[in-house]
Structure 1
């Protein structure tokens, strides 16, 4: 059995990834999940299930039995429990040792991380992009660190391994967009993957979502605040999709908020975005969603690119396989 290396590269559009990777034997475009936020997308990638089944719907949302929304990166109890397991569980059942490099998840302590990596042997490692100012470290040094961490796992024992490595270049793209260092990273990453495949490994890389240009709008932020106050609710969601948790009638909220919002912010009932409605969606997603369809929305300080909604470059991501 060959070792299988899986690189989870956060924040890469299909168009960019497929254009930079020249040596894979297989390349396809994948459609991501909604919302196009990392917690939702990586949970779907690891479990094969959509948000209506695994219940991870973004960053800020309600939980059954709690009065106020949680932040998923701060909530400690295990939050996603599926009897079907995940792909680490599947790998173990096929005779692989499933290993997850902590990499750019290092320092994160929450139930979502525990659920995501359940059934994997968690191996501490250094970070690559997380916690570093954008472009503060040369790309060559980051790639060298990735290669060294993965090679250390491969040299540890003789059993066949599935090695999962999270690379959070999304942290930089939020601040710089898809600039020259990002392209350089992807092109040089292609060379490293080709070398791993020449040594007999199967190498897979894919992303969770892309990012699009986003400009913070104080006007939109003000509308969200007024809506939450008027309807005694809380704003949830993340990035370019938000919703309101409120006991008020959905149509009343829409009628009040829609005239106040610019045309490139869609406001619709939850059912329009989650046709496969489940109890988890009803419990965790507000009845009315606000979704960015253009550039101006709410965003974090310093961000010029963001994600969460359904524009093409947010939704479509690359998948590639290197194998000799």
Structure 2
């Protein structure tokens, strides 16, 4: 994932008119291999956790988690000692702003600005405010905010989504003057459908439609790249495991409610009860999770711990090892965040 900015910049150097980047949320390398048959594709490894907030930030900055500090989707803002949904920027309790959530780093958009016009069609991202999206899209020209109702309808219907992305790219390319190259980055929210239905026929047909669009843009002199942030795996809801988690995630044992990202979650235990919290969570989840003290993450090759990471991450971490792992948002049929191949192997595809 850290190689993405360099690949985009290198492709931009060699491209004729410019580069279109399809940033497809939720696409696994396996699904891309099945549908993008005309592309030259390499497989990248997502971040840990394999979640959008973390992976997109790495993909645009080239930095590891300990660089940008986006350790997950929901985590502690250390200055205020509250949990924050980092994508929306909203604290999960009353807190002053701005919150101490991340470290804004130079992006691929800033690096490309000296050699190209840089435009982001953020779609759902353009409806967000807050530090995360500001840091993510730093250095890019952004258009007017889209209609949220239209976005919701398109995200719920993969065929409509592919058609809308084709229209949005077509308009941006038609509006561009060829006095300098263009880097156009567009967000493709396939993730909502995938959470509900997985890689069904509708999702795969939409991916094939995106490839047809890409080949059409190549015929007109553009180079097209596409990559993802994470994949998805099947989940099975187990209310007994959800209740078991809740019996450990209590104010008596923990200073804050749990944070995390899908199939990776963590507790913020009171320091004097940290070992107890780990033992109780390990007993509660059994074979459905690997439960470790956060200090063990580097030895597992999952995350480098710096003081700034430790301030944000919980002290006890649970990584899903079964489809029955209790999710922070119960009810999704497919989820991500963990370290299985289908969650972490993502495509980087090139046409042209």
Asked whether the two chains share a fold, i.e. TM above 0.5, the reply is yes
Query: What does residue 297 of structure 1 align with?
Result: 325
SS at match of 1:166: strand
1:266 equivalent to 2:294? Answer: no
Q: Distance in 2 between matches of 1:305 and 1:143?
A: 21
Q: Distance in 2 between matches of 1:216 and 1:153?
A: 42
Residue 138 of structure 1, CA deviation: 6.3
Query: What does residue 54 of structure 1 align with?
Result: 68
1:232 equivalent to 2:246? Answer: no
- The alignment covers a number of residue pairs equal to 318
Query: What does residue 42 of structure 1 align with?
Result: 56
Q: Distance in 2 between matches of 1:262 and 1:169?
A: 33
Q: How does 1:62-101 map to 2 (within 5 A)?
A: 62-75=76-89, 77=98, 79-83=101-105, 85-93=106-114, 95-101=115-121
Residue 74 of structure 1, CA deviation: 3.4
Q: Distance in 2 between matches of 1:111 and 1:14?
A: 30
Q: Distance in 1 between matches of 2:158 and 2:57?
A: 30
20, 30, 33: which one pairs with 2:47? 33
Residue 82 of structure 1, CA deviation: 3.9
The structure with more helix, counted as a fraction of residues: 2
From the superposition, tell whether residues 50 and 15 of structure 1 become closer, same or farther in structure 2 (CA, over 3 Å): same
1:315 equivalent to 2:338? Answer: no
Contact 1:53 1:278 in 2 (8 A): no
Taking structure 2 as the reference length, what is the TM-score of the superposition? 0.84
Residue 126 of structure 1, CA deviation: 5.4
> Over the residues paired in the alignment, what is the CA RMSD in angstroms?
2.1
157, 161, 168: which one pairs with 1:149? 168
Residue 132 of structure 1, CA deviation: 3.3
Q: Distance in 1 between matches of 2:50 and 2:139?
A: 25
Task: Give unpaired runs (5+ residues) of structure 1.
Answer: none
Taking structure 1 as the reference length, what is the TM-score of the superposition? 0.91
Deviates more, 1:264-273 or 1:309-318: 264-273
263, 266, 278: which one pairs with 1:243? 266
23, 30, 38: which one pairs with 1:23? 38
Q: How does 1:94-113 map to 2 (within 5 A)?
A: 95-113=115-133
Residue 129 of structure 1, CA deviation: 8.5
Cα offsets for 1:92-133 (capped at 9, x unmatched): 13x111111021324222221111001111123456995238
**Stretches of 4+ moved more than 6 A in 1?**
none
Q: Distance in 1 between matches of 2:254 and 2:305?
A: 25
